[in-house]
Each structure stands twice: as structure tokens, then as C-alpha cells.
Amino acid sequence: MKENEKKKNKGIGRRDFLRTVGAGIVAGAAPAVIIPGRALARAKSLKILQWAHFVPRYDKKWFDAFAKQWGKDNGVNVVVDHVHIGQVKSRTAAELAARGGHDLIEWFDPPAQLELSVLDMTDIVKEAEGRFGKQLDLCKRSSFNPKTGKYYGFCHGWVIDPGDYRKSLWAKVGKPRGPETWEDLITYGGRIKKELGVQLGIGMSQEIDSNMAARALLWSYDTSVQDKNENVILNNEKTVAAVEFMKRLYKAAMTPEVFAWSPASNNRALIAGKASYIINSVSAYRSGQKKKPEIAKDVYFVPPLKGPRGTRWTSEHVIYSYIIPNYASKNADTAKKFLLALLENYDQAMYQSELYNSPAFFDTPIPSGDRGYARVKGAKKLRDLHNAWFDKDPFALPGEATNKLKVLKDAEKWSTNVGHPGPASPAIGEVYGTSVIPNMMANAVRGFGKPKTAVAQAEILTKAIFKKWRKKGLVGGTM
Amino acid sequence: MMKAVERQPKAAVLGAPTFWGHLVDSERMLAPLMIAPAILYIVALVGFPFLLAIYYSLSDATIGNLSLNFVGLRNFIAVLEDPVFRQSLKNTIIFTLVSQVLVLVLAKILALALLKDFRGKWLARFLILLPWTAPIALGTIGWMWMLDSIFSPIDWMLRQVGLLGAPGAILGTASNLYWLGIPSLAMTSVILVHTWRMLPLATVILLAGLTAIPQEILDAVEVDGAGFWRRLFQIMIPMLIPIISIAALFGVIFTFTDMVIVYVLTQGGPVHSTQVLASWAFFKGIEAGDLAQGAAIALFLFPLMACMAIFMLRLARRTEVT
């Protein structure tokens, strides 16, 4: 008896310890062994990975419920996982390496570097075009590789990237309708900074908005990273002139905050009343409507600014592109069926994103029945809805002008893809991902080198990147 | 009764010897069994990725194509020719050396202070340990706000005391210092935040070392009339060298391989002025999709760290007090 007590008092013995740990491991591992069996017995499933939308109601009020309902109607168990936009690429890389994970993955920029690990989407694009009309060209150029003839992604939508300006500030310097040319930013934006103490916010750092702004400037100066045949043409007099312009613009109207620009800086600067002009989608303005209505009411929009020869372009702000990894080929039909259903319901994507999303297929018919928004008289296609909503913004605040978005109605005429005038490609993606172009601007602006030197350095980096991807057979051109 | 029980064979007391019973009673079998999970863990989470990184670095792998073709040292050559890589290497060395010197000096001061008895010592210890226990991303986001170009409370304080934003102010007439927008300030910010992060661990390690110094040695030195500085530099620091080496080794390895602070605060900018090898490997390998070059960049860390680890462990062993 005493011996037993002694044993008890000693605490856990070696045998007890091993037994407990062993039991724990078995208990922990059991579900993993049992559940796959169960999963096999269940109905079809579709796992979707996508980035958490910048407009929260898109996911919370619409997309997740839509996906679930579609699953219910089609006997598919749909699982939607949202991740922060910054995690999409690393998650995709991990899943491709593991050859397992989600059946559909949504990217926010062209997934060109994934071409060899994803299914060809040509069939679904053709089917969608048959049912909903031609896909917007900038969407095609963001998901199709002309060199290999493969649709590596399925682009269902895109985001407009206009100029947002504070009307009251620009009115005070005699330009109430905002800037029209890049030079206006120096002339009037410079005066706003000098006289009213409010700077411009055009990023020159290693992030997406800076990448887009720098490209918009290059294109408006009739130059670009590549030509339409994917030859590198960056190093030319027009690029040098664009960089020289940026140098003058920084001196006249900006502060060093543009070198620390982050994707949140547009929203922060605009809402804080510390930016007279930014290049951003409507999301910064929508945030302002919720957080600082008095500032938001003063925010108006302009199309991209004209360069010295009157050219104007801006980059899409986001390209929505779904991929189906090779490992998910067994589930491809279900995934493609879901994508077509998404297109059929794109009026919801537009409305629930508060007009952040624009469709890749403008001729899609509007479904009948209650769609959760006020019916637009005579509207039959998404184009009609788009026009009506951009003429009269359904999300304008009480007492706020409702026609602010009108200037964005024909945005597809002046919006283009990241590789303009050529297609997106892994090389264009790497030049973008390593921020070669905004760094070229910043190098010259900060005085680390003359504009000519900065352009020459950027060309060396760009050519090395193109050469590498060309060797893999994924990029066209020879230079 | 007791005697009777003692005289019984062991098997009779514990039941018939089973396979498991035999296993757990055998030191020869049990020792490898117990250590196996740790070895498996290291092989799976350190060894395998390390070998995979070597494999990738000698191939043309991209995130979209894992059907690997051997390309020899082409990735290493390409990486060495890249000016961003060279700048990242330089930044990594500056970042590591400056932050580790700061960490060790400040940790020594803090450890000496915490050795003394004073009121509220537990609170001071708690506050000092806090940065280490808080999730690193959370702490860094806090610092991002502290160093924000518009809302920085540091700038606000400087403006309130007239050091910034006023005509003739010492720090300039601009309303903000733009901590993360000016290369030198951005590097300073990254180093200071990393120092803040690493300080608690080094302090705890040095505090443990200080408490281990025999009191009689310190008493003897005091009786001999040695002052504070002499005690510090001729007695305490030499005796602490093994433990300082361990703290430095931890710090250097952690700093060399860390990219969270750079990634959250500056993304390597402005113009790569805070880019470090770990962040550049991530941007090149994952963001830009060139897994092979990303792996080659990451592997440059290995020989540097291996040399440093060998040097410091040797130093620690040579100076060990027995």
C-alpha cells in the first residue's frame, strides 16, 4: 500500500509518460487518418483562394454567400479562403510546390510566371466570349501569352486607376476642374504646395501604386518598358525626358514621403487632407466617405494626364485573374462552371464593390429578378449599368455631387495593362515585382545619378530579366 | 510484508514483460527513441529545406515551373552581377553589425541595472521583456505608425518643442522628418526597431551570466580597491565573454535571417537603401517568381553565418570559466 503511495508521490513515471505521450499522438493523428476517408465519401468540392477585397462588403455581403449558394445549387461543397493581398503570391508558390491546395486562386496582377504550372483557360475564355461578348483587350493582354498561345489566367474584372484631386485646393489656384496634363501638376500642384502647404502624392517606392504611376508617366511620354513585340525599348530620349519631368515635379510639389509610399499611403494622405492629387482607384475616396465625409465630398476625379504630345494612359489598378493549378485538373470543370456563374452575376461584383470592380465582359446580360439594388431603367447589359452608375453614383453621400464618377465612364479607352503596348509576361512581372521603374525615377530624383544614368541602369536590369525569361521560352522579342 | 514484496521478481510486480515494457526499460533503446523527434524535426524543417535551396539554386526553377534543369552556377553568377544584390549584402552587414553592437552595449547596461535591487524591479523587467514577447509583425506595425510620414508622434513631439517645422528649427522647417523616406533615416529606423526587438533576449542572457559570477570574486576585487570601470572591464566582461558570445551569436543569426522589420517598414526602400539579403531573396524568389535566384541569394547567408557561428562558439569555449 505504502509502496503504491510512494509511487504515486513520485509523479509521472517513465512508462506513464510514454503512455500518455503515445496516446496523445495517436489521438492527434487519428482525425487526419480518418477524415480523408470521409472527405472522399462526400460530394464534390471546390476550394477557392483569393485576396481579401479592399471593399469589405464585397466579401462579407456578397461573394462568400454567392459562392456558398452556387455550391448548394450545384451539389458542390465550396470553401472560400481569403488572405491578405500581400500573401497571395507566397501562398500560391507554396501550393504549387506542394502540388496541392486550392482549385481556384485569384491574383491581383497578371500571373504570367505561373504559366507552366496552370491549366490553359482558352476554352473557358472562348465560351465566355460566346455567351457574354468580347473580353476587354486589356484583360486579354493580362492573361494571354501570344508567344505560347496560352491563356494562363482567366480575367473576370479590372479596376480603374484615375487621378483623384481635391477640388477646393485646385479651385484656389484657378484650376477647379483639376489637372489635365502632367505639366499642370508642376504649375498648379506646385502652387498648391507653396501657397496652401498641401503636397501631391505620387509614390516613388517599391510598391504597386508607385509602379503604376511611373508607368502612366512613361506611356504619356510615348515610351515604355517594351514595345508591342516584347522588345526592351526603355532606354530612349523620351524615357529620359519623363524622368527629368519627375525630378522637376518632385522639387515643385512633393515631399520625401513619396519615397516611403505604401499601398495604404493614398488613403492615409487623402483622408488626412495631406494630398492635393493622387493616382488611385475609387477605394481611397470610398474610405474617405466613411471616415472623413467632409474631405471625400471635396474629392473629384480626372482621367490620366496628358504628356507633352497629348498622349494619355493609365494602368489598370488591379487585374482580377483566376488560375487553375495543374494539380487541380480533376476539378477543372467544376472550377470553370463556377467562373461562368461569376460572370453571369457580375452586376453584383460591380455593385457590392461600390463600383471598384469593372467587368472584363461589358456585354454580359443583367440577370432578371431582384438584384438587391434599384433597377436601372432600360439597362440590359453590364455596359448600361456601368454607364448609369458612373453617371449617378449610387454610393454618393447625402448632399454630395452624384456625377463625380462620370469622367471615368469611358475608362477602358485610356486604361491599359502593365506591359503596354505589349502583353503582360513573366519578364514584365519581374520588372514590376522588383520595382525597377519607380526606383529608376527615385534614383534620379534623389540625385543618386543623372536621369540618363538612371535610365541606363534600369535598362541593364530590365534586359537581364527579359533575357532570362526569353531563354525559358515564355517571352517574345529579341532585344 | 514489504520484504516479501521485495523478494518477488520484478516481472511479478510489474506484470509480464511486454515488448513496450522491455523498450521503455532499456536505456540503449530509449535514448535514441527520445531524441529521434528532435532529429526528425531538424531534418524536416532545417535540413530538407536547406538541401532543397541548394538544389533550387543550381536549377532554373521558377514558382511556376518546378521541373528543374541543372544550370550549374549560373544563378550565383547572375546574382553577383546584380547591383541590388551587392547593395543588399552591404546593407545586411551594416544592419547586423550596428544593431548587434547597440544591442550588446544596451543589454549590458540594462542587465547591470536590473542586477541591483530597487522598487518596481519586476515591472521594469516585465516592460523590458515585452518587445520580445509581442508578435514581431504587430510591434513593427506599431513602429510604422510611430515613423509615419504624416502622423508620426515622434515628429509631433519634435514640433511641439520647436525642434522641427518652425523657422530656424534645428531639424528643419519641414513638418515631418520622413523617417522612412530618406535613405539614412530609413536605415537608422530599421536598425533602431531591430535593436528594440532584440534587446530583451540579450538582456536576459547577460543577466543570467552576471548572476553566475561568484560573489566572492566581486567582493575580493572590491576589497582590493578596484573601481566600477576596472571591475567591469577587467573582471566582469572577461568572465562574461562566453555568455556574450552566445548572445551575439543568437543576435547575429537572427538579424541576418530576419526580413520582417524591413518588409513591414520599408519594403527595402527607398531605392533599395534598406534592402537586406533575406528580403531581396523573398522579392526575387516569390514576388518576381524566380525561385532559383531567390534560393541563390538566400544561400549567400549560409557561409557567412557558418563562419560566424564557428568563430563565436570557439571563442566561447576558449574563454569558458571552469
pLDDT in tens, A208-250: 999 999 999 999 999 999 999 999 999 999 999 999 999 999 9
Question: A334, A366, A391: which is the final residue of a domain?
Answer: A391
Lowest mean pLDDT among A136-150, A343-357, B228-242: B228-242
Look at residue B37 and tell me if it is in a domain.
no
Look at residue B66 and tell me if it is in a domain.
no
Look at residue A478 and tell me if it is in a domain.
no
pLDDT value, residue A39: 43
pLDDT value, residue A25: 58
Most B CBs within 10 A among A117, A259, A432, hence the mutation to make, goes to: A259
Look at residue B50 and tell me if it is in a domain.
no
Residues A410 and A352 in one domain: no
Look at residue B75 and tell me if it is in a domain.
no
Q: Which of A274, A426, A461 comes nearest B289 by C-beta?
A: A426
| A440 close contact with B: CB closer than 8 A | no
* Beta-sheet strands, E only, within A203-258: none
pLDDT value, residue B67: 74
The CA radius of gyration of chain B, in Å to the nearest whole number, is 27
C-alpha distances in angstroms, B208 versus A115, A194, A407, B219, B312?
55, 58, 68, 19, 19
| CA–CA dist A242, A218 (Å, integer) | 6
Residues A145 and A120 in one domain: yes
Look at residue A42 and tell me if it is in a domain.
no
CATH assignment of the domain containing B307: 1.10.3720.10
Look at residue B19 and tell me if it is in a domain.
no
DSSP-derived letter for residue A277 is E
Measured between CA atoms, the residue of chain A closest to residue B66 is A97
Residues A270 and A325 in one domain: no
pLDDT value, residue B322: 47
Ranges of residues in chain B with a pLDDT under 50 are 1-6, 11-12, 322
Look at residue A214 and tell me if it is in a domain.
yes
- pLDDT tens per residue across span A61-116: 999 999 999 999 999 999 999 999 888 999 999 999 889 999 999 999 999 999 99
| A206 close contact with B: CB closer than 8 A | yes
Return all residues near A306 (Cβ < 8 A) that are at least 6 apart. A180, A181, A182, A220, A312
Structural domain of residue B280, as residue ranges?
Answer: 83-318
CATH assignment of the domain containing A145: 3.40.190.10
Residues A337 and A444 in one domain: no
Q: Which residues in B95-126 are b (16+ Cβ under 10 Å) and which e?
A: bbebbbebbbebbbebbbebeeeeeeeeeebe
Residues forming beta bridges with residue A165, ordered by sequence position: A277, A300
Look at residue A438 and tell me if it is in a domain.
yes
**Assembly ipTM:** 0.79
CA atoms within a 13 Å half-sphere pointing along the CA-CB vector of B28: 1
Q: Which of A92, A113, A260 comes nearest B181 by C-beta?
A: A260
Provide the angle, in degrees to the nearest 10, between the axes of the packed helices B183-212 and B121-133: 130
Whether the pLDDT of residue A11 is over 80: the answer is no
Residues A313 and A326 in one domain: no
What is the count of residue pairs from A and B with beta carbons less than 8 Å apart?
A: 133
C-alpha distances in angstroms, A329 versus A46, A148, A325?
12, 20, 7
Whether the pLDDT of residue A59 is over 90: the answer is yes
Residues of chain A with pLDDT > 90, as a percent, come to 81
Partners of residue B151 in chain A, C-beta under 8 Å: 268, 272
pLDDT value, residue A36: 46
pLDDT value, residue A20: 62
Partners of residue B179 in chain A, C-beta under 8 Å: 260
pLDDT value, residue B64: 84
Domain count, chain B: 1
| B81 close contact with A: CB closer than 8 A | yes
The answer to whether B277 touches B297, Cβ cutoff 8 Å, is: yes
pLDDT value, residue A26: 54
Look at residue A476 and tell me if it is in a domain.
no
Look at residue A208 and tell me if it is in a domain.
yes
- Interior angle at CA A219, CA A213 and CA A220, nearest 5: 90
**In angstroms, what separates the C-alpha of A271 from chain B's closest C-alpha?**
11
Look at residue A38 and tell me if it is in a domain.
no
Whether the pLDDT of residue A466 is over 90: the answer is yes
pLDDT value, residue B312: 76
pLDDT: is A18 or A47 the higher one?
A47
pLDDT value, residue A43: 60
Residues A177 and A117 in one domain: no
Within its chain, how far is the Cα of B206 from the centroid? 15
C-alpha distances in angstroms, A33 versus A36, A171, A352, A353?
7, 69, 41, 41
Question: A362, A391, A420: which is the final residue of a domain?
Answer: A391
Question: A350, A369, A391: which is the final residue of a domain?
Answer: A391
pLDDT value, residue A325: 96
In the structure grid, which three cell numbers stand for residue B242, read together? 562566453
Whether the pLDDT of residue A5 is over 80: the answer is no
Element (H, E) at B208: helix B183-212
Look at residue A282 and tell me if it is in a domain.
yes
A260–B270 CB contact, under 8 Å: yes
Partners of residue B82 in chain A, C-beta under 8 Å: 461, 464
Domain count, chain A: 3
Residues A105 and A152 in one domain: yes
The string of DSSP codes covering A308-328 is: TTS---EE-SEEEEEE-BGGG
Structural domain of residue A15, as residue ranges?
Answer: 2-31
What average pLDDT score do residues A332-339 get? Answer: 97
What letter represents residue A433's amino acid? Answer: G
Which of the four pLDDT bands, split at 50, 70 and 90, describes residue A38?
A: very low
| CA–CA dist B90, B82 (Å, integer) | 13
Which of the four pLDDT bands, split at 50, 70 and 90, describes residue A41?
A: very low
Element (H, E) at A164: strand A163-166
Look at residue B279 and tell me if it is in a domain.
yes
Look at residue B46 and tell me if it is in a domain.
no
**In angstroms, what separates the C-alpha of A17 from chain B's closest C-alpha?**
10
- Selected residues 97-156 of chain A with any CB under 8 Å from a CB in chain B: 97, 111, 113-118
pLDDT value, residue B16: 60
pLDDT value, residue A141: 95
- Selected residues 3-42 of chain B with any CB under 8 Å from a CB in chain A: 5, 20-21, 24, 30
C-alpha distances in angstroms, B245 versus A264, A452, B92, B114, B249?
41, 48, 20, 20, 6
Residues A271 and A420 in one domain: yes
Residues A387 and A295 in one domain: no
- Three-state secondary structure call for residue A263: coil
Residues A289 and A336 in one domain: no
Look at residue B122 and tell me if it is in a domain.
yes
Residues A80 and A102 in one domain: yes
pLDDT value, residue B3: 47
| B186 close contact with A: CB closer than 8 A | yes
Residues A387 and A405 in one domain: no
B24–A18 CB contact, under 8 Å: yes
